[in-house]
Amino acid sequence: MSRIGFIGTGHIAAPMVRFLAQRGHEITVSERNAKTAQALKASHAVSIAANQEVLDRSDIIFLCVRPHVASDIIQPLFFRGDHQVVSVMAGISLAALAELCAPATDLTMTIPLGYLEHGGCPLPACPDARLLKTLFAPENPVIEVAEEHAFNMHFAICAMVPGMLDLLDTGGRWLTDHTGDPDNALRYTRQVLTGFLAALPDGNAGQLGQERDALATEGTISLQMTQGLRDGGAHSTLRDTLSAIGDRLGGAT
């Protein structure tokens, strides 16, 4: 089992801590976000320490602080050359990470989501997937992404999650307006999509389009929906927003 430390103990770190602790790893978390740290100590017997002590106790370090404060928090710390470092900080390049974590050189970037602890969370890994596969697979599929620009574009796709939730919320509210039953409107709107996606087998690059076309056949309300979204500019808006996020994260093409 490994000695693993977390700098930053919030919404993204906590599911990873729970997943790794359940597999017998020795976990030390930072004091940052004391409420979450104490909850993890109570539920999974993790240790809590100051940032530098987290590094001193650990061989694998997860950096889970917000990007805009990363330099202030990480730069004062002393890393070892044998530390393995995993960053989940959007917009912090490999070059910047190398500078912050020197003399450590074993650096990996990934994008975890909160449901990781339950399995099924895809983890893009750049530039090397070996460490993440050891820690999180097979429950969570690890996708090796060798080039940093391509990895950053995965952050843009990840940002679709709150966007899709926003659309589902609009749909659920619309259904509530017509049924007067907000709880069941939310339940139905959520489950009709999550259940469908969960039932899909692993497929090829064209699978989502094939599934769409199987539903949106001539004369159906499904086709009316897909055409209405296209005619309203939803797809072009999505691509434009993804490109803007990509530019922000490192230059989308």
Burial (CB < 10 A; 0-12, 13-18, 19+), residue 31, is middle
The C-alpha angle with vertex 133 and arms to 127 and 137, in degrees rounded to 5, equals: 145
Q: Which two tokens stand for residue 140?
A: 């969570």
- Would you state the pLDDT for residue 197? 85
- State yes or no: pLDDT of 136 exceeds 70: yes
Query: So what's the pLDDT on residue 137?
Result: 96
Average pLDDT over residues 2-23: 94
What mean pLDDT do residues 173-196 have? 94
- Specify the pLDDT at position 33: 78
- Residue 252 scores a pLDDT above 50: no
Burial string for 70-86 (b: 16+ CB within 10 Å, else e) reads beebbeebebeeebbbb
Please write the tens of the pLDDT for every residue from 202-232: 777 788 899 999 999 999 999 999 999 999 9
pTM: 0.83
Distance in angstroms (rounded) separating the CA atoms of residues 100 and 66: 14
How do residues 185-202 score in pLDDT, each as one tens digit? 999 999 999 888 888 887
What DSSP letter does each residue of the chain carry, written as one string? Answer: --EEEEE--STTHHHHHHHHHHTT-EEEEESSSHHHHHHHHHHH--EEE-HHHHHHH-SEEEE-S-GGGHHHHHTTS---TT-EEEE--TT--HHHHHHHHTT--EEEE----GGGGGS---EEEBS--HHHHHHHTTTS-EEE--SHHHHHHHHHHHTHHHHHHHHHHHHHHHHHHHHS-HHHHHHHHHHHHHHHHHHPPP--TTHHHHHHHHHS-TT-HHHHHHHHHHHTTHHHHHHHHHHHHHHHHH---
The per-residue pLDDT of the chain, averaged, comes to 92
| Mean pLDDT on 78-106 | 95
CB 145 within 8 A of CB 159: no
What's the confidence (pLDDT) of residue 246?
A: 86
Set out the domains of the chain in order of their start, with CATH numbers: 3-146 (3.40.50.720), 160-250 (no CATH)
State residue 198's pLDDT score.
84
